[in-house]
Amino acid sequence: MPHLPRSLRAYGTPGFEATLKKELAALGPDVLGLQQGLAAGSISLGENLGVMLLRVTESPAAIHLRAGIFFNSVLSGCACADDPTPENENAEYCEIDLEIHRGTAELSIAPVPD
């Protein structure tokens, strides 16, 4: 289970959003579940991952967030000379719900249904 200790410590400060974005981007597409959010490609890529914070609420046990994730994907092919599907990067976007548990800094991630 991933942890976001720096984001938890920064919560309530002006640096929270920047800290959260850095920690989420460092987790990469596999941990964030971006494969489930693909619309144009077949494989999510971890380079140039962008995070937009959409909503923040809190409870005694956790900080609840919704984030928009910008990332790239490719539609992989065999890369043969006559392959009709060359590898081109596609811009992708999906939204995820996050919970940072206050006691442990554990992060729970769930895709937002379409």
Q: What is the pLDDT of residue 82?
A: 60
Each residue's pLDDT tens digit, 94-112:
999 999 999 999 999 999 9
Q: What is the pLDDT of residue 41?
A: 81
**Contacts with 6 (C-beta within 8 Å, 6 or more apart), sequence order:** 19, 22, 23
Each residue's pLDDT tens digit, 30-89:
999 988 888 878 888 888 899 999 999 999 999 999 999 999 888 776 556 666 555 678
This prediction's pTM: 0.85
Q: How many other C-beta atoms can be found within 10 angstroms of the C-beta atom of residue 57?
A: 9
What ranges do the domains of the chain cover? Answer: 5-111
Q: What is the pLDDT of residue 102?
A: 97
Q: What is the pLDDT of residue 114?
A: 75
What is the Rg, in whole angstroms, of the alpha carbon atoms belonging to the chain?
16
Q: Is the pLDDT of residue 12 over 90?
A: yes
Q: What is the pLDDT of residue 6?
A: 98
> What phi-psi label fits residue 105: left (phi over 0), alpha (psi between -120 and 50 degrees) or beta?
left
